Structure 1
Amino acid sequence: MIVTSFFSLFISQTVFAKNMYRWIDDKGRIHYSETVLPKDINYRRESLNKAASVKEVVEEAKTKEEQEMEKRLVRLRRDQEKIITRQKVYDNALLNTYHSKADLMMAIKSKMDAFETQNQVVEGNLIRLKQELEAQQKNAAEMDRNAQKVPKKLLDGIKSTQKQIQELHIAINEQKEKQSQIKREDEADIARFLFLTQSLTEKRKGTSIPSIKEANELGLFYCENDRQCNKAWEIARTFVEYYSTTPPDVYNDKLIMNRPPATDTDISLSLSKIPLTDDESQLFLDVHCRESSLGKDLCVSQKVKDIRATFIPYVNDALSRTAQ
């Protein structure tokens, strides 16, 4: 300490005639020099001015592996930015094309009706071909029973009809797969449209619905309607009772709360229903720890963060199971 203080005093009182460099080697030793030797070139170093203030920093040289990792990270970020840009373009197209959920649902219904019409046409063709094949085979069998030679034209016709039936079966399966894919895309469009329009509505109201990440960190569950909110409320009550280490204290239609923490290891959860509009609400989960240094440490621990992060998936999972 004495040597360090003395050296620091010496450096602070020295007026440098040239650039002075400062770096720390692998053993933690501090070096000051007007030149950097090749053996020290890879260390992070600071360039000091005449007043011994840092004017420039040269970061530690990266290993080959670190350089490759950084290049990969740059590529990944570039790809991610492209995805984000495409998503923004798609979102804008979605909002510009449909002005309400009803518009979107009507467009989807029209699309599905068109699929059903196509399916009916194909199914009708399949029935017709099967009937045609049955007649051809019946005709060929009758000739065979009468010891008559089955004409090549009839045999070729049977093969042609069988091939057409096979091709129609393939087309039907492809059509069903295409319809299923479009249905999945439509469901994603509905979810995305609702998310975007709700976000825009809340921004206009002066309130913003948090992102999924923010909602998980905050412990916020957004209710789409009263019916969903009432179900989520009962589900959340089970969550509060399960993760709280203290007994229940308050339960009504606006607040669920367990008793305050009595020890440094206690966790007490509370849930409140916060109205956003006349028919929209959000459920806010809060975690309480004892007012002590250990209690405060517990409340910022990973354990508590995990409880918050589990809340929304828990409610959504339970809601999806009750809907089945």
Structure 2
Amino acid sequence: MRVLFISILLACTSLTAEAKLYKWVDENGNVQYSDKIPPTAVKKSHEQLDKHGLVVEKKERAKTPEEIAEEQRVRKLQLETQRRLEKQRAKDRVLLSTYRSEDDIILARDGKLATYDAQIRITYNNIDRLKDRLAYQKKRAASLERQGKLIPRQLQVSIDNTRREINQNYASILRQEHGKKKIRESYAMDLKRFRELSKLKEENRPRAVESPANTRDETLVKTVLRCEKQAECDKLWKKAKNFVRKHATTPVYVDADHIFITQPPRNDKDLSLTLSRLKSKNSPGEIIFLDIQCKKEVATDTWCTRKDALELRNNFRPMLLKKEASQ
């Protein structure tokens, strides 16, 4: 019936081989055909048909400024996530190339702590020496006072300088102790990360990821969650991580305060998920962004367009907000 209608329309409009026929849906939801498309339908989704009524060109509707702006924001989020991932992987490569075992990390830490301890011992020796000097200076001053003599200005300046040096040395010790604390924290993180990486199989080690291309994907905006208050953001972050643990098919690779990553996909069925918790530059609060990756078919692929990945993108925000509202 449709082909007959188009054939009659083509005959009535006396289309030549080069003539065009357009098909679109009007404001009332009715399908329209014409050899000229009205201005009101140009920016909407429409199709161009050939003389046989077959689609030769299909144009999607023009995106609104708001949709374009949202896509640009999402692309920035994805690039930021990519930068964080590459930074983490670079750190991992340095860690694995620097240390062969946990003992190497502990020895390196203890070596740096020993350097601090040696400097602290030297500083304490200086303090003891300065205290002896101060005791001698005060003894001289007390002797002069007992004799009823004035304390020479130079002696008083020396006493003041010695006190100041003692305080400076104590401040130095506090700085060195703070340095020791930072060393312990830093090597504790390295040790923890080294143990995590040691558990990974060789085939699951992180691989380099191509930089995202400027390709549009409307479904990406569905994986952005915005929150304003710290407590709200913390709850959503926790639920988002649970979502990733449930739906990712690869093991967790990075679990940090502001980024949560599962390992790259190993086969055609794998889904690798990455969460980023970012500060919002244009509004108060934070942004939680989910990126979904599957095994690339070609090197230029930027994100996964598989059906199961699209379903996850569609379900991410509704599932988290629904669970949040139910509490």
- TM-score under structure 1 length normalisation: 0.53
Measure, in 2, the Cα distance between the counterparts of 1:179 and 1:13: 87
CA 1:21–1:157 in structure 2 vs 1: closer, same or farther (change >3 Å)? farther
Q: Which runs of 5+ in 2 are unaligned?
A: 206-240, 252-318
Quote the offset at 1:193 in angstroms: 0.9
Measure, in 1, the Cα distance between the counterparts of 2:34 and 2:97: 64
Which residue number in structure 2 is paired with residue 149 of structure 1?
150
Which residue number in structure 1 is paired with residue 5 of structure 2?
10
Measure, in 2, the Cα distance between the counterparts of 1:216 and 1:48: 47
CA 1:99–1:200 in structure 2 vs 1: closer, same or farther (change >3 Å)? farther
CA 1:49–1:130 in structure 2 vs 1: closer, same or farther (change >3 Å)? farther
Quote the offset at 1:194 in angstroms: 1.2
Note if contact 2:113-2:183 (Cα within 8 Å) is conserved in structure 1: no
- Structure 1 position 189 matched with structure 2 position 190: yes
What's the secondary structure of 1:128's corresponding residue?
helix
Amino acid across the alignment from 1:110: G
Quote the offset at 1:218 in angstroms: 7.5
Measure, in 1, the Cα distance between the counterparts of 2:97 and 2:31: 62
Measure, in 2, the Cα distance between the counterparts of 1:159 and 1:51: 103
Measure, in 1, the Cα distance between the counterparts of 2:59 and 2:35: 15
Provide the identity percentage: 28
What's the secondary structure of 2:150's corresponding residue?
coil
What's the secondary structure of 1:199's corresponding residue?
coil
Note if contact 2:7-2:52 (Cα within 8 Å) is conserved in structure 1: yes
What's the secondary structure of 2:167's corresponding residue?
helix
CA 1:191–1:52 in structure 2 vs 1: closer, same or farther (change >3 Å)? farther
Q: Which runs of 4+ in 1 moved over 6 A?
A: 12-16, 212-215
Amino acid across the alignment from 2:5: F
Residue range with higher mean Cα deviation, 78-87 or 20-29: 20-29
CA 1:139–1:91 in structure 2 vs 1: closer, same or farther (change >3 Å)? same
Measure, in 2, the Cα distance between the counterparts of 1:144 and 1:21: 111
Measure, in 2, the Cα distance between the counterparts of 1:13 and 1:122: 100
Measure, in 1, the Cα distance between the counterparts of 2:42 and 2:156: 87
Quote the offset at 1:95 in angstroms: 0.9
Note if contact 2:48-2:56 (Cα within 8 Å) is conserved in structure 1: yes
Quote the offset at 1:13 in angstroms: 8.4
Amino acid across the alignment from 1:153: Q
Quote the offset at 1:157 in angstroms: 1.6
Amino acid across the alignment from 1:191: K
Note if contact 1:25-1:43 (Cα within 8 Å) is conserved in structure 2: no
Task: Tell me the matched-pair count.
Answer: 213
Quote the offset at 1:31 in angstroms: 4.1
Note if contact 1:20-1:33 (Cα within 8 Å) is conserved in structure 2: yes
- Structure 1 position 96 matched with structure 2 position 71: no
Question: After superposition, what is the alpha-carbon deviation per residue over 1:142-192, rounded to whole angstroms, capped at 9, x for unaligned?
Answer: 323433222222222222223223322332222222222222221111111
Which residue number in structure 2 is paired with residue 106 of structure 1?
107
CA 1:72–1:218 in structure 2 vs 1: closer, same or farther (change >3 Å)? closer
Note if contact 2:22-2:47 (Cα within 8 Å) is conserved in structure 1: yes
Quote the offset at 1:97 in angstroms: 1.2
Question: After superposition, what is the alpha-carbon deviation per residue over 1:47-78, rounded to whole angstroms, capped at 9, x for unaligned?
Answer: 44555455554443333333222222222222
Amino acid across the alignment from 1:216: R
Please tell me the root mean square deviation across aligned C-alpha atoms, in Å.
Answer: 3.8
Question: After superposition, what is the alpha-carbon deviation per residue over 1:263-293, rounded to whole angstroms, capped at 9, x for unaligned?
Answer: xxxxxxxxxxxxxxxxxxxxxxxxxxxxxxx
Note if contact 1:23-1:30 (Cα within 8 Å) is conserved in structure 2: yes
Map 1:252-267 to 2 at 5 A. none
Note if contact 2:25-2:31 (Cα within 8 Å) is conserved in structure 1: yes
Q: 1:216 pairs with 245, 252, 256, which one?
A: 245
CA 1:164–1:99 in structure 2 vs 1: closer, same or farther (change >3 Å)? same
Measure, in 1, the Cα distance between the counterparts of 2:59 and 2:160: 79
Which residue number in structure 2 is paired with residue 44 of structure 1?
45
Which residue number in structure 1 is paired with residue 296 of structure 2?
none
Note if contact 2:112-2:183 (Cα within 8 Å) is conserved in structure 1: no
Note if contact 2:127-2:166 (Cα within 8 Å) is conserved in structure 1: yes
